[in-house]
Amino acid sequence: MSRSLAHELGRYSTGFITALVLSVAAYQLVVSGWVTSGGWLAFILLVLAAAQMIVQVAFFLHLRSEQKPRWQTYSYAFTWLMLLVIIIGSIWIMRNLDYNMHIAPEQVNDYMLKQAQKGF
């Protein structure tokens, strides 16, 4: 259990440098314009962000090696479920709404003016 200080410092430094490399890689990818497809670029950027999150959780938060209590695992899994529901669910619903409500901007303007005249 008790590892040497040098060993732990080395672990932190590895995590730090890896995170730094991932950040600069994501930056380079955007600035250089190597990837021309917007969808692929977004996908690669998200993968790099997820990789960096895993690196930081593993190297800085010590959630990798030691035995952790079961509630911690459950709350972690539950959080991920909620995150996906909130983010993917919102985007899905709003896109769908947008698609089903093809209103011209002028119509929206007229509608809002009428509402304003009625008083809120």
Partner 1 sequence: MSHSVTETEKLDNTTLGFWLYLMTDIMIFASLFATYLVLVNATAGGPSASDIYSADFALLQTVILLTSSFTCGVSALLLRRGKKTASMWLLLATVVLGAAFLALEVFEFSTLVSEGHTWQTSAFLSAFFTLVGTHGLHISVGLIWAITLLVYMYRTRIGSDMVRKMMLFALFWHFLDIIWIFIFTIVYLMGVAS
Instruction: Say how many residues make up the chain.
Output: 120
Q: Report how far residue 50's alpha carbon sits from residue 58's, in angstroms, rounded to the nearest whole number.
A: 12
By C-beta, is 38 or 119 nearer to partner 1?
38
As measured in angstroms, the least distance from the Cβ of 22 to partner 1 is 9
Task: Answer whether 45's CB lies under 8 Å from 30's CB.
Answer: yes
Rule CB under 8 A: choose which of 10, 34, 73, 75 binds partner 1. 75
Q: Look-up: residue for tokens 């895993």?
A: 54
Q: Look-up: residue for tokens 């002028």?
A: 106
Task: Answer whether 49's CB lies under 8 Å from 26's CB.
Answer: yes
Determine, following the binding rule CB under 8 A, whether residue 8 of this chain makes contact with partner 1. Answer: yes
By CB under 8 A, name the binding residues for partner 1: 5, 8-9, 12-13, 15-16, 19-20, 23-24, 26-27, 30-31, 38, 41-42, 45-46, 48-49, 52-53, 56-57, 60-61, 69, 71-72, 75-76, 78-79, 82-83, 86-87, 89-91, 94
